[in-house]
Amino acid sequence: MTPTDSSPPAHAEPDAEAWRRALQRFASVIPHTRELGLEVVAVAPPEVTMRLPWQPALLGDATRGLAHGGALTMLLDTVCGASVLCGLPSPEVCPTLDLRVDHYRPAVADQAIMARARVLRVTDSMVFTEGTLWQQPEQPIARGIGNFVRLGPRNTPPGFVEALFAEELFTEEQGHA
């Protein structure tokens, strides 16, 4: 593990590991993804890679052992939304405007689902992203296109950026849930 004394201050240009920890904190504060144990594997702004460990709650067809398509949509929404945070000049709260998911092949039980998303374009009002899921390399199971709305710094709560990059502020949040 990287020693904590190598962490940059919140307003410095965060390195890849600082971003990974920040987005892991983001995933661990969201109740739905915290309960599913979603992991942030790597961040190279504006690209994010996540890993969803397998668990039976993800099943859609238990007889055949296939993941629920909606769980895949949830993962794409999450990974695309995380890429938005590191694709902006400074993280803002950006709700999903719309999401399109193409299902290429089913995700099967007992294997983690990998997710990678990146920001393609940022404008004054929008952030355009795309994401891909896979279990085996070179065999995508789903692809998503997510567009996110920039509400602007005015609608981003004070301390949002600091909270992403500061352990202690979110530790409290995690504790009460």
Q: Please state the closest distance from residue 27 (CB atom) to other proteins, in A.
A: 11
With tokens 């193409």, the residue in question is 102
In the complex with other proteins, which residue's Cβ is closer, 9 or 95?
Answer: 95
**Could you give the angle at the alpha carbon of 155 between the alpha carbons of 154 and 159, nearest 5°?**
85
In the complex with other proteins, which residue's Cβ is closer, 53 or 70?
Answer: 70
Q: Please state the closest distance from residue 2 (CB atom) to other proteins, in A.
A: 26
Over its C-alpha atoms, the chain yields an Rg (Å, rounded) of 16
In the complex with other proteins, which residue's Cβ is closer, 89 or 157?
Answer: 157
Distance, CA of 55 to CA of 175 (rounded, Å): 23
Q: Please state the closest distance from residue 6 (CB atom) to other proteins, in A.
A: 28
Q: Please state the closest distance from residue 16 (CB atom) to other proteins, in A.
A: 25
DSSP class of 49: E
Binding site for other proteins (CB under 8 A): 29-33, 35, 56-64, 67-71, 73-78, 81, 93, 95-103, 106, 157, 173, 177
In the complex with other proteins, which residue's Cβ is closer, 2 or 136?
Answer: 136
Distance, CA of 23 to CA of 55 (rounded, Å): 22
CB 95 within 8 A of CB 126: no
